[in-house]
Amino acid sequence: MDDSIPLKGPGKSAAGFYNLSQRMNRDVTISALNVLHPKRVLDGFGATGIRAIRFRLETGSEVHVSEINPASLRIIEKHVSMNSTDITVHAESFAETSRKIPFDYIDVDPYGSVVPYLDSAINNVKNRGYVGITATDLSVLTGSYPEKTIRRYNSVIIKDSFKHEKGLRLLLGYAARRSAAVDRYIRPIVSFWNGHYYRSIFQVLSGSMGADAMLSRVEHVNLHDLIGAYYPSREEGPLWTGEIEDNSFLPKMGRPDDEGGEKFLALTALLRNEDKSLFFTDLQDVARSKRTDVMGVAKAISILEDAGFNAFRTHFCPTGIKSNIKAMEVFRMLSDHSQRQKQ
C-alpha cells in the first residue's frame, strides 16, 4: 500500500482515506464473494481503490469502481497501475455507474448513512444479484437521536442493551421496505455489527408476491411481550424480524489468509447463533431484576443445557444468551435460579 495514503479510523474522512478498522468488513465481503462468484462487481465508493483491487485479485470477478472526488480518482488510478489490475474506473457517481451497467454485486460503503444510495443499489442490481451495505450512523440507528431516527428511517428505537441487534434489524427493515416499493425483496445472507459500523450482504429478487411475503417480516416489537415484564411496554420499529443470516451459507465462507483469520472465524461462529431467536436474554438485566450479581455466560449456558435446552452466545452483547426456546422462558429460568442463589 502507498505510504502516502492517510490512515483514518471511524469518524474521520479524507480524499482516498484507508480505514484500517474496516478490515473485518473487507474480509467478510471477499469471503462471501468467493462463495457467490459474481461475474461483474461494482465498488460504488472507490476511496483508495484498495477494496476494488482486492475484489479483482482475490475473487477474479470483473470489477468496476466509481468515484467523484478528483483527488481520490488519482489515488485509485495510481494503485490500479501499481497492482497491474484490469479494473474499470468510472469518474462519476455511484448512481450513474449503477444505472448504466448490469451488476451482479454492488458494494455500498459510504461515509455515514446508506440511505441516499440504497435505492440506486436495490433498483439497479440484477435480479437475484447481491448488495452489500455498510452503515456508520449507529447513533441514529440505535436511537441516540430519536427525531433523526424517525426522520431518516421512519422508525422508533429505544437505546438499551439490545440496541445493536435492533439497529441492524432497523437497517434491514428499511432496506426491505425500499425494496418492496419497487416490487423487489431481499434475502440477507450475512449481517453483523463490528465496532462503529453495521454490515449486511443480501440478495435482491424481483416479484410482488415475494415483496408482500417479505413485508410480513417487517414488524413492530415490544420487549415486554417478547422477553418479560421487567421491560416497559413500548412499541419499537418497524424492524426486520426475519433471519439476518443464511446458516447454509456461513460455513462455506473461508477464512482470510492474514492475521485477521482468527477474529474472522470467531465472528462467523457467533453469527451462526443469531437466528436461534429474535433478541436475546441479557444477564445484566436478569441480575437487575432480582438485585443479584451478574451470572457468568458459561454458567447461564450450563443451567439451560442441564434443563435440556440449547444455549448460545451472541455477538450483539457480551452478556447476552440466545436459545432454542423463547427469550421470555430463558429470562424466567435464569431469574428463578438467581433468586434461589440469593436466598
pLDDT of 46-87, one tens digit each? 888 899 999 999 999 999 999 999 998 999 999 999 998 999
Whether the per-residue pLDDT at 242 is higher than 70: the answer is yes
**Number of structural domains found in the chain:** 2
The pLDDT tens digits for 187-205 are 999 999 999 999 999 999 9
- Report the chain's C-alpha Rg in angstroms: 21
In this structure, what DSSP letter does residue 114 have?
A: S
Instruction: Among 272, 299, 330, identify where a domain stops.
Output: 272
C-alpha 35/C-alpha 252 separation (Å) is: 7
Helices (H), the chain: 23-36, 50-59, 70-82, 94-100, 115-124, 138-141, 146-153, 163-180, 208-215, 223-226, 261-271, 283-290, 297-306, 327-342
> Does residue 242 sit in the same domain as residue 295?
no
Q: Tell me if 195 is assigned to some domain.
A: yes
* pLDDT score at 338: 85
**316: domain CATH number?**
3.30.56.70
In a domain, 79, yes or no: yes
Q: What is the per-residue pLDDT across 273-322, written as a single tens digit (0 to 9) for each?
A: 999 999 999 999 999 999 999 999 999 999 999 999 999 999 999 999 99
Residue 280 DSSP SS3? coil
Judged against a pLDDT cut of 50, whether residue 147 lies above it is answered with yes
Last residue of a domain, one of 246, 272, 298: 272
Let me know whether 45 and 184 are in one domain: yes
pLDDT at position 340 is 81
C-alpha cell at 312: 448460545
Q: Which stretch of DSSP H or E encloses residue 257?
A: none
312 and 224 within one domain? no
pTM of the full predicted structure? 0.92
Looking at the fold, whether 336 and 311 belong to one and the same domain comes out as yes
Contacts of 298 by beta carbon, 8 Å cutoff, 6+ apart? none
- Same domain, yes or no, for 71 and 108? yes
CATH number at residue 14: 3.40.50.150
Considering the domain architecture, whether residues 51 and 130 belong to the same structural domain is answered as yes
**Does residue 234 sit in the same domain as residue 180?**
yes
Read off the C-alpha cell for 143: 436511537
Task: Looking at the structure, tell me whether residues 299 and 265 fall in a common domain.
Answer: no
Range of the domain at 228: 7-272
Q: What is the pLDDT of residue 343?
A: 62
For the cut 90, the answer to whether the pLDDT of residue 9 exceeds it is no
| 181 and 208 both lie in a single domain | yes
Which of 272, 301, 321 is the C-terminal boundary of a domain?
272
Tell me, yes or no, whether 1 lies in a domain: no
Q: Is the pLDDT of residue 11 over 90?
A: no
203 & 291 share domain: no
Does 41 map to a domain?
yes
Which carries the bigger pLDDT value, residue 262 or residue 199? 199
Same domain, 90 and 39: yes
